[in-house]
């Protein structure tokens, strides 16, 4: 079988487009679990590798509504585990604002509940507004990545505390747990001190899958060392190839092979039966962007308040703050390259928060995804529908079959766990 594409579904509230909820017929409530369950079932019908939930840790009522108002990812995914049977379930939890003992056990628990479909998207939380909800000070970028590295090591170590055969449950002898097969961690590092063992047995996947998205240099190093799946933010194929090659080249230094890390650039597909219909749909969506929301979103992505600048002026010469998203670099360089006005930049950011927008017929979209996939730019894609449900069902019903006809995408799930879908083996505990 030729190499197969991997697909993730990114669920961000009312759709990734800032105004997706205004599209005619769109789902407008994202605290309605039944709507989310329908989205998950659609993704599973489309044989996606995984569903993936973002997160943030503050509410700004003036910003993107999906940032401000959402179900908490772990409870939502645990509930989705029971209404799906094969698709992977990934949730974002911050390494800056959570503790490793709790993170290790919730993802192990999700892995047990879902029979091996859990994934943790480890983020460091870029938005400094989170700190005020946790009574603390937002650590700077470098320190957040130092914490993240240690945090990931601790969580991995906790996942390895229980041998696979530690639970004996021998009713005759009365031995339930064999203490010799349960190991403390005894971690004491610069940021965390965690004794262990964790109070949940070894996960069906051994270790739940780890996702990461950091685009900075420390983010790329951390991903090369610890991630199974990397979401990337890119706008053009050349840039995607360079980033892909750079990440894969880093793996050997950590004793890892290229097949062990799946790189999925984010893409917002706007699908129409024809290219014209697709562009007309995008125009409808862009027409809904309100300048205040657009600027608030741009300010959030850049980490700089942009409300004072002239919308019809050039992109101001702004230094990136320490808290910037990797989006910021990608977007600013594109905007300067293409001589955009501030209005163009916020429109682009509002569309997909800096991610690549791919607009066209199923053939056009499949052609482009195929080119990226076969020429070293991607192992698959993190699909970010602009709105739900039609903005996603069109991808599943029109684009997926086209990818399958080309032999690029599975026609059934071959395995049962997310590791199976990604072609990853089940790791033995490291001691």
Site for a copy of itself in 227-256 (CB under 8 A): none
Q: Is the dihedral of CA 124, 125, 128, 132 positive or negative?
A: negative
Contact 48, 8 (CB under 8 A): yes
| 84 vs 406: CA distance, rounded Å | 27
**Residue 141 annotated as binding site:** yes
Shorter beta-carbon distance to a copy of itself: residue 165 or 317: 165
| 412 vs 87: CA distance, rounded Å | 11
**Residue 170 annotated as binding site:** no
Shorter beta-carbon distance to a copy of itself: residue 99 or 276: 99
CA quadruple 75, 76, 79, 82: dihedral, nearest 10: -130
Tell which residue, 100, 71, 77, has the closest CA to residue 90: 77
Give 60's DSSP letter: -
Question: Which residues between 154 and 183 bind a copy of itself (CB under 8 A)?
Answer: 161, 166-167, 169, 171, 174, 176-179, 182
Selected from 35, 143, 192, 423, the binder of a copy of itself by CB under 8 A is 192
**Does 290 engage in binding with a copy of itself (CB under 8 A)?**
yes
Piece in contact with a copy of itself (CB under 8 A), picked from 17-25, 208-216, 262-270, 363-371: 17-25
**Does 411 engage in binding with a copy of itself (CB under 8 A)?**
no
Provide, rounded to whole angstroms, the least separation between the CB of residue 179 and a copy of itself.
4
- Tally of CA atoms within 13 A in the half-sphere of 416 that contains its CB: 9
**Does 61 engage in binding with a copy of itself (CB under 8 A)?**
yes
Selected from 46, 197, 269, 386, the binder of a copy of itself by CB under 8 A is 197
| Number of residues forming the site for a copy of itself (CB under 8 A) | 73
- Would you call 210 helix, strand, or coil by DSSP? strand
**Residues in the chain, total:** 431
Question: Which residues between 346 and 405 bind a copy of itself (CB under 8 A)?
Answer: none
Question: Which residues between 23 and 52 bind a copy of itself (CB under 8 A)?
Answer: 26, 28-29, 31-33, 37
**Does 81 engage in binding with a copy of itself (CB under 8 A)?**
yes
| Cα 123-260-148 angle, rounded to 5 deg | 20
Phi, psi (rounded to 5 degrees) for 337: -60, -40
Provide, rounded to whole angstroms, the least separation between the CB of residue 176 and a copy of itself.
4
**Residue 216 annotated as binding site:** yes
Pattern 87-126, a copy of itself, x by CB under 8 A = ----------xxx-xx--xx-xxx-xx-------------
Selected from 71, 242, 251, 311, the binder of a copy of itself by CB under 8 A is 71
Strands 167-170 and 175-177, bridge-based pairing: antiparallel
**Does 218 engage in binding with a copy of itself (CB under 8 A)?**
no
Provide, rounded to whole angstroms, the least separation between the CB of residue 269 and a copy of itself.
22
Q: Is the dihedral of CA 183, 188, 189, 191 positive or negative?
A: positive
**Residue 145 annotated as binding site:** yes
**Does 206 engage in binding with a copy of itself (CB under 8 A)?**
no
**Distance (Å) of CA 201 to CA 86, 93, 171, 420, 428:** 22, 21, 18, 20, 14
N-term to C-term CA, the chain: 36
Numbered residues of the known binding site:
55, 92, 141, 145, 216
């Amino acid at each position: 079988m030729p190499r197969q594409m991997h697909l993730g579904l990114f669920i961000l509230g009312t759709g990734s487009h800032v105004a997706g909820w205004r599209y005619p017929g769109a789902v407008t409530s994202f605290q309605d679990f039944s709507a989310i369950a329908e989205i998950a079932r659609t993704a599973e019908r489309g044989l996606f590798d995984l569903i993936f939930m973002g997160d943030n840790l503050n509410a700004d009522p003036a910003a993107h509504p999906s940032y401000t108002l959402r179900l908490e990812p772990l409870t939502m995914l645990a509930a989705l585990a029971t209404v799906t049977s094969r698709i992977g379930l990934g949730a974002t939890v911050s390494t800056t604002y959570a503790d490793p003992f709790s993170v290790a056990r919730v993802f192990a628990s999700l892995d047990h509940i879902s029979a091996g479909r859990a994934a943790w998207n480890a983020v460091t939380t870029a938005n400094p507004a989170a700190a005020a909800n946790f009574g603390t000070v937002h650590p700077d970028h470098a320190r957040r990545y130092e914490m993240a590295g240690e945090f990931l090591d601790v969580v991995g170590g906790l996942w390895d505390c229980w041998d696979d055969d530690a639970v004996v449950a021998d009713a005759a002898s009365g031995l339930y747990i064999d203490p010799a097969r349960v190991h403390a961690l005894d971690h004491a590092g610069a940021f965390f001190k965690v004794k262990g063992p964790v109070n949940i047995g070894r996960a069906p996947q051994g270790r739940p899958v780890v996702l990461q998205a950091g685009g900075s240099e420390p983010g790329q190093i951390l991903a090369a060392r610890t991630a199974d799946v990397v979401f990337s933010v890119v706008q053009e194929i050349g840039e995607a190839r360079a980033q892909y090659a750079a990440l894969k080249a880093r793996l050997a230094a950590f004793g890892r092979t290229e097949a062990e890390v799946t790189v999925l650039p984010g893409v917002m597909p706007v699908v129409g039966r024809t290219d014209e219909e697709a562009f007309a749909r995008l125009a409808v969506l862009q027409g809904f962007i309100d300048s205040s929301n657009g600027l608030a979103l741009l300010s959030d992505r850049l980490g700089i308040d942009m409300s004072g600048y002239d919308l019809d002026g050039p992109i101001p010469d702004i230094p990136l703050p320490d808290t910037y998203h990797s989006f910021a670099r990608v977007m600013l360089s594109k905007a300067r390259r293409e001589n955009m006005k501030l209005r163009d930049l916020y429109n682009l950011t509002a569309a997909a928060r800096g991610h690549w927008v791919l607009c066209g017929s199923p053939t056009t979209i499949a052609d482009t995804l195929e080119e990226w996939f076969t020429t070293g730019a991607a192992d698959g894609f993190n699909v970010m529908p602009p709105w739900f449900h039609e903005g996603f069902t069109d991808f599943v019903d029109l684009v997926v079959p086209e990818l399958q006809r080309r032999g690029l995408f599975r026609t059934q799930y071959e395995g049962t766990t997310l590791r199976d879908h990604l072609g990853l083996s089940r790791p033995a505990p490291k001691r």
